[in-house]
Structure 1
Amino acid sequence: MRRWFKTHGWLIGVLAVASFAMLFRLGAQPIQNWDEGIHGAVSIDMVERGDWVTPWYAGGAYFRKPPLKLWMSAGLFEAFGINAWTLRLPNAIAGILTSLLVAWWMWQWRRSRWEAFLAGVIVATMRPIFFHAFRTGEMDGLLTLFTTGALYCWWKAVHDAAAAEHEIRNQKSEIRNKFKNRMFKFWSFGHSDLFRASSFGFRISRCEWWLAACGAAIGLAVMTKSAAGLLPLPIIAAHALLTGAWRRIRIRDVLVLVLVLVAVAAPWHLAMTALHGMTFWNDYFGWHVVKRATEVLHNPTAGTWWYLPTLMRKFSPYAWWLLPALVIKFILSGAEAKRRISQLRMDATPSTASRAGEILRRSAPQDKLGALLLLWFLVTLALFTIAKTKFEWYLLPLYPAAAMLVAEFLAAARNVA
């Protein structure tokens, strides 16, 4: 236990800072925000009606959002009474968990207690947590947690798949050497080889479990905020294609992710379809997803690049380091890509040209979290910039990536100094 505290004591520090930031005077402010008030009223209706399938508001069916956050609030209302504290508690807990997850992820990536602590504290103290996020009763805080969780699970799956591939490649090389040296005998494939084979199988299984967890997190994100919950999918696709990670993920693994996602998100949507038909989909998806993406329904003064100054303003005081962190990460990613292409050109003689993909894949670094963070930030920013209707809280899912990039940059600057 003492050894654990010595190595991971910083995690308790992150927990303390995040708990204070999220829970201190959580219910002191009255419910004033429009969305927060509506979601609270819907949860109260859910308790009073006893209808946990169809949300209701002001006497009519409420088709705007999925019910996961509404279920949480309704359950807390029944257990602890109806007040602002219970309405906001799920998001506050989501904020604490997001801070801890980002800190733990940073630790697994960099093995630096300073960087891990800094990343968690940035998430817990950035300005966006105070509005429409972790200290209010809307749904965006939970969405941020599930998006972060899904991408963490994807990173772990790719990491385990790479480790398993490396191990089986070593096994093949070892057996090939035995043949070459004429020392291989059938009986030599004994317990140690079987143990390594079983270890490889365990890692493949663990990869599948991480992808199943990724699918579950995306499914919960969909049940929190509809199509916005699918945000991890284009990030994962871009990362898999640009880093070559897709070569390590089998079709069966992808099916596991998809099936778990559907198993989590589909039942409520099917129930609502059975109860309300296309009326539900016209409002739920047609108006609140398609219309918001293609037309300016709110905030008409927001121009195309409105998110850039908004991001710099809302991410204070850490925004000053975000731009150099992004630039340096982009330069390093470009340098790594040029190195891989250069090696590909040197190695890909006419006799080895058919192995171009293999050369490119093997020359890539095992850990691609830097690329994932960059894509996470850029894909999220690009998608919501393209959408016509803009709100500052739409960017909340990218802030954990920004926190990790800034923490890495500040740690590097500290080491240089």
Structure 2
Amino acid sequence: MSQRTYRVIFQGCVLLCIVSVSLYVHKQWLQRKEPLHGKNARTRDEHQHYTQERHGPVKQSNFEPTAVQERRENVRMNQKKSTTKSKQKIYSNRYLLPVKPNPFGGANHQYRRFKKAIIMSVLTNRTLVMTPFFLSGGHVNGYTREHLRPFNVTFDADILSQVVPVATTGAFKRVCNRNNTKVVLWSGEREKYENVKNLIYTDMVDVDLPGEDEVTYLEQTQVDKMPSLTKDESCVALSIDSLMNIKFNNTEQIGLIEHLVDKHLVPAPNIVRIVSDLTKKICQGKQYLAYHWRNKTAEIICFFGRESKEHKCASQRKVIRKFAEISAEAVTNLMKSEQIECIYLACPLWALEMVDILSKLIPRASIFTSGDILGSTKYQTLLEDYYLLSLVEQEISMRAAVFVATTHSNWSSFVMANRVANGRTNYNIRSIVKLPEDIPSDLLR
């Protein structure tokens, strides 16, 4: 045969091989396609059922997803594996309901108590119930329906669920009632339980808890007994004071859990989106130092009018002013050493005198407050909502290159814990200020 004939035969064989391989691959793909689709369908159904159990029915949105929303959706898809692994725990009917037996205390005091409940949920393999919080503090006293704030406007449940399974109060009520719920409280709050049970849980949260005579009270040194007291209980309502230490047998394990909680207890998605927009207005998007400035003693005696002795208020104002000037100098010196040009001053609206003090040391254009960045109509309403404004300022402080905390402040402590967990630089104002002898240390709280 001629050389041309050999070439035609060779090309035909190659073509036949390619067709055979293509047909085989196509056949294998068809065989796997149906089972794969069935698996994905089950995964979507399970995820929807899990979401409805935790958040209620899913609502469809008519808005096109923004870039931020798309990124959050990607994060949620990555979280699917974590939440699926926890699914057995979620539906194991072992719940922990955080209880607030004291109808007072600022929002950050509530958050710190809630963190203790998260840690206890992890240690005892329980699903955490997402109870609401309350706007409270020096300017608002007592918990009322008007000041109730749902969990999902405060924290991101999806991110928290990477640490502990979470559920709504509705899911809790489907399994738990006053007959099968064990209430464990700190003994120091014995006298307040019955009142708060009726005020908050019966009336506002619609959860029926056992009466005072059925409650188990623990001393501060007995917190470690909680797991053994509740090991056979499906439903537990628990209150642990924010200052109590949870030790158990493995101190190192407690530290690791607390680190994870601090890292995953982050603001709700709406707060994150707002702050992502607002931080562009701080120092033209460059790095900044955040300083939390307040003095609760002066607020209680002078601003909120709880003390009628005007002469005492006047004398304390002078001391606070002196400390403000000293701390302003220390903070601006820190800015220079850290080579940071701008400062965000996180403070109550009644403490803006610090702006004037700082302005004598650095240009006013380098100082930013909530009033400076919330000027547009889009966000101006935040200035009238102390609860959301506080969350926004905390997130702004968490993103700062350097944070300076106020001593004896739950607000500062909450920010500091998150920043420590994320490896960010922090200072306490008292650690960088030399306090003169004529300023009583107990006044600066």
Q: Which has the larger radius of gyration?
A: 2
Q: Give yes or no for TM over 0.5.
A: no
Higher relative contact order at CA 8 Å, sep ≥6: structure 1 or structure 2? 1
- Which structure carries more helix by proportion? 1
TM-score (norm 2): 0.26
Give me the TM-score of the superposition, normalised by structure 1: 0.27
Q: Hey, which of these two has a bigger chunk of strand by percent?
A: 2
